[in-house]
Every structure is written in structure tokens, then in C-alpha cells.
Chain A
């Protein structure tokens, strides 16, 4: 085999392997690590709730799918099936209490359950939007207690 053919064959193989590696990497792209992601906003639950109830579309531009920190006084901690949800109730509507609901990450569940209502906390999570009665935060961690 001529040397230049060897080189070409070698390059093609390397190229193919790289393509496969990139494909596997893209397909198995790691999930977002919300707990350690840099927060892109920080505000009080009252301010966020006011923004969403005034203009949800404008608020979505700032918060939807973005990781941030919200702070406020906890109303209650809810347990439902396997979920632990920290609730900031700020108003009342067709679904009872309305406000901000934060689903806790597995490793923060026990810590969340131990918080007394009325305690002011900072919660970090990703905002998945406003469903007409509540703003939902997912993958939440507790920053300060």
C-alpha cells in the first residue's frame, strides 16, 4: 500500500471515530446541574409573583427555564407521593393558595421538611413557568436557612 493511501485511510478512521464519539456525547448530553449552575437572577418571592401576575409573558422572558435564587418566608412544606414541595403562598384563587411552589431535589428533602413555616429561606432552582395560579420551581436546593 502506498504511504499516502495509508494516511488517507488513517484520517478517515480517525474522522469516523471522532464523529461517533461526538454523536454519543450529544445523545447522552448530561442533564443540567441546577444546584451548581450559576444563578441568573436573585429576588424576593413577592417581587417575582407580582411580575408574573402582572405580565406572565414578560416575566417568562426573564425567568423561564433559567436558574435563580428566590427568597421569602415559607408558608408550608407539602409532601405528596415522593415529592417535597416548599410553598410560598402569596394570594388565593380557584386552586386555593396561590404563589410559588418549589419541588426539592432528593438530597434536600429532609432539610426542607425540617423547616418551620414562617422561616425566611433562599431557594435555588429552575423556573418552569406560571400555570395561572402558581409559579413552579424545580430541582430546588436550600441556600440559607
Chain B
């Protein structure tokens, strides 16, 4: 009897270990920059959800569009109401995988280049994307950073003619997420 309890306990513990391979944050930082000769516009969002499962390489980001903060109220209003239609499409998501998971060692501190492949949804439109990023392991913390470009036309984001000089067609997006081990 004791033997079975022991085996059951080991089983429970190891299943717990397998489940505890998720690293998350709810305060990831995403910011973007639109640069034209006329105007540079930058907006920040510090409320980004990100989860990485280091056993499968599954990577998820969830961003509320209304949480982007602009230097000027009018920019924020136009961004939400006219370009992103954030009442209709309040959330942007990325759901994908780390492609070179096997090359990463999560038990050793260091910086690794990562390739990420997945589905990016912005403005209600989902596109398959492949981007590069850097993953840094530092003790129990994993930091993911990436820079990539989003073409507004790909996501059917229309900029009125009157302001085409002020807003770039391609937007530089920066991602910075410090993930902590999820303890359940």
C-alpha cells in the first residue's frame, strides 16, 4: 500500500513539475513609432499579457488597444476611433511558437536569438508572421525583446488622405516582456 502511495505522490509531483513550465507577465511593454519627415508619433502600452511555455515553445501575447498611451490626447482619439476602431476590435493578439526551442537552454543564463512563427491579429485581421527576437535567461526570469515592422495596409488600417504625411505606412513595433515563472 505504502509503495502505491509513494508512486502516486511521485506521479503527482512530476506532473506538477511539467505543468509549471509556463512563464508569464501581465505588464509587458509594447511601444510603436511612426516616423515621417513631418511628425514622429510614439505610443506605449505597459499592460501586455505574455505567456511562454518553455516545454512546447508556445508563445502568446494579448494587448488591449485602448491601453496605448500617446503624448497627445487627439492622437490617441484618432488612433482608437479612426484607425484601429478599438471599440470594434479591442484586443490584438499574437499566438505562435519559438522555432529554435531546442537550441535554448533555460537553465543557463544567457542571450539567445530566437525565431518566432505565428498568427498576428490586429484590427480584426489575422496574418501569418515570422519575426526575430532575443530571449534572455537570467535566473528564473526570461526576457523577450523584439523589433518588427507592421505595414498598416496588411491589417486594413486606413489613414485619411489629410494626414498621410503625418503617419507612416509602416510602423516600428517594439516588444519587451519580462516573464516570471508561473506558480500555481
Contacts and interface: CB of A to CB of B under 8 A. Distances in A.
Given A60-B87, A101-B26, A131 B64 contact: yes
Interface stretch (A12-20, A67-75, A132-140): A132-140
A145 B66 CA distance: 28
A131 B63 contact: yes
Please indicate which of the listed interface residues B47, B76, B86 has the most CB atoms of chain A within 10 Å of its own CB. Answer: B47
A134 B49 contact: yes
Given A101-B26, A128-B67, A60 B47 contact: no
Interface string B38-61: 000000001101010000000010
B66 A83 contact: no
Contact of A129 (B46, B64, B72, B73): B64
Nearest to A134: B26
Interface in A112-134: 128-134
A64 B49 contact: no
Contact of A29 (B64, B65, B72): B72
Interface string B1-36: 000000000000000000000101111010000000
A92 B184 CA distance: 9
A32 B73 CA distance: 7
A68 B27 CA distance: 22
Contacts, number: 83
Contacts of B183: 96
Contacts of A5: none
B51 A101 contact: no
A80 B141 CA distance: 13
Interface of B: 22, 24-27, 29, 46-47, 49, 51, 60, 62-67, 72-74, 76-77, 80, 86-87, 90-91, 93, 182-184
User: Which 4 interchain pairs have the tightest Cβ spacing?
Assistant: A128-B66, A80-B27, A129-B90, A31-B73
Interface of A: 26-32, 60, 64-65, 78, 80-81, 83, 85, 92, 94-96, 101, 103, 128-134, 136, 138
22 contacts: A28-B72, A31-B72, A31-B73, A64-B66, A65-B87, A94-B22, A94-B51, A95-B24, A95-B26, A96-B24, A96-B182, A96-B183, A101-B47, A129-B91, A130-B64, A131-B62, A131-B63, A132-B91, A133-B49, A134-B26, A134-B49, A138-B67
